[in-house]
Amino acid sequence: MTDAPPALTDTDTRVLLRLRRIEGQVRGLQRMIEEGRDCHDILTQLSGVRSALDAAGEQILEQYAAGCRARPGEAITPQDVVRAVKLLRR
């Protein structure tokens, strides 16, 4: 018998919805390239995808800093937050 995955938090649900929208934007980018759309339009869409990913990363970082499921029950140290920020900036 395996453990069931933990229930999703409201933040998890919002991040998943955001990622699904980003997935649609990326598909749109692929379609734009296949259709030979103008480079300006493609770059504009790409910029939107990048901004959306940054926003999703910020939400995940906020959840981590507030005590994400990285280590349930353990306090988050300043070093943990610094490590998470460095991962996000890669």
Amino acid 32: pLDDT: 97
Q: Give tens-digit pLDDT for 22-74.
A: 999 999 999 999 999 999 999 999 999 999 999 998 888 887 777 655 556 67
Amino acid 68: pLDDT: 59
Amino acid 9: pLDDT: 83
User: What angle separates helix 39-65 from helix 10-34, to the nearest 10 degrees?
Assistant: 160
Contact (Cβ atoms closer than 8 angstroms) between residue 64 and residue 74: no
C-alpha closest to that of 80 among 63, 65, 62, 58:
65
Q: Which of the pair, 26 or 3, is modelled with greater confidence? A: 26
Q: Which architecture, in CATH terms, is 10-88?
A: Up-down Bundle (1.20)
Amino acid 70: pLDDT: 54
Q: Which of the pair, 64 or 20, is modelled with greater confidence? A: 20
Q: Which of the pair, 89 or 55, is modelled with greater confidence? A: 55
Distance CA 18, CA 15 (A): 5
